[in-house]
Amino acid sequence: MKVKVRSGDTLWYYSQLFYIPIGLIIDSNPSVEPNKLKIGTEIDLPGFREVNYTIRKGDTFWALASEWNIGVDALLLLNEGVNANGLQIGSTIILPSRVITPIVKGKQAYHSKILHKDIKSLKEIYPFIRLRSVGESVLGDDLVEIRVGTGKKKVQLNASFHANEWITTAILMSFLNEYLLSLTNSNPIRGIETLPIYGDVTVSFVPMVNPDGVDLVLIGPPEDRRKELLAINRGSTDFTGWKANIKGVDLNNQFPAKWEIEKERKEEKAPAPRDFPGYKPLTEPEAIAMANLAQQENFDRLLAIHTQGKEFYWGYEGLEPPDAAKLAADFTRVSGYESVRYIDSYAGYKDWFIKEFKKAGFTLELGKGINPLPLSQFDEIYQDVLGIFLVSIYRWY
């Protein structure tokens, strides 16, 4: 929601008028000098939407302010030029509507178009989030990173490395939305105050690493690649089991962490719906983008979100740091998921992350069943792993 600065206005005053943490207002307006506001400057206020309201008989600013639980000056600020003492029946004014419910509807077939639409909506309501493309998919779709927070500690969360595990994107976006709601409404999540986390930790979300593959599973093959994809899929028009990127390379077998071992023991030696690690490590643009992101940012910990198994993996060759074991114990405590330190599988993103940086990395396997997991599991999965997400950004040893 945007307002125009009047004489005497300050960001602190807006914070008090709308009950928004001052830091979120400052971060929503990075080009504005907080102590040098110029009259007429547009200011973004997070956590609100503008609502058009038609004046009815008996309406006054004072009555509306009481009904909407806002200050009268909030109405005056949003309705510059309106005569507050002479409201005309049938005329339209603007009311500030606090956003208190999620806009992300995760419980649906969550493809890339829905993702981009939700990201745009979240940016409009929560302008303090920072967006950037960290790379492109094979078909040129932006791999969007959403950053929340200003702290020196850094946590990376990613989802949908595998196409038929698209429910992980919906779960991660739902957590992001709940986190943003908590920040702007000062509502704890499971008893945890989130504003201190915002100032202490920068959280990096890459909610869909493999958008081309997700869209293939949920929408079907693009016409210009249909023949090629049908050949890779062994003639089948059923792509629901597809894990790979659009070129038939398994993105979570693309990283130089014993990649050669995975290459030799995988049955697939050419592009396939799943399990082909590529002809070399880091050949695919999606995997390259994620490797570059980690190298640029030097994250303190990383969670790669997959399905299924109700378990998580957190070791690699004994290179994991001591805090990884403490995190693993907390993850199990809050979720009931089984902690698995070592698994006979290599070349994954968390394997490479641990190897490269000696930091805590985790592969979460959400839910249980056959991929793609049904949406009927969504609520249970979300409640199970919400605690893991919170621990990952909150608990520091």
Active site residues per annotation: 346, 365
Give the sheet arrangement for strand 142-148, strand by strand: 130-136, 142-148, 201-206, 153-159, 301-307, 360-366, 311-313, 338-340
Contact 196, 244 (CB under 8 A): no
Please classify residue 320 by burial: count the beta carbons closer than 10 Å to its beta carbon, then call 0-12 exposed, 13-18 middle and 19+ buried. buried
Cα separation, 100 vs 177, in Å, equals 11
Contacts for 156 with CB less than 8 Å, ≥ 6 apart: 204, 206, 293, 294, 297, 299, 301, 302, 303
At 107, list the tokens: 């419980």
Please classify residue 173 by burial: count the beta carbons closer than 10 Å to its beta carbon, then call 0-12 exposed, 13-18 middle and 19+ buried. buried
Cα separation, 197 vs 186, in Å, equals 12
* Chain centroid, CA 333 distance in Å: 24
Cα separation, 366 vs 343, in Å, equals 16
Beta strands in the chain (DSSP E): 2-4, 42-44, 48-54, 92-98, 130-136, 142-148, 153-159, 201-206, 301-307, 311-313, 338-340, 360-366
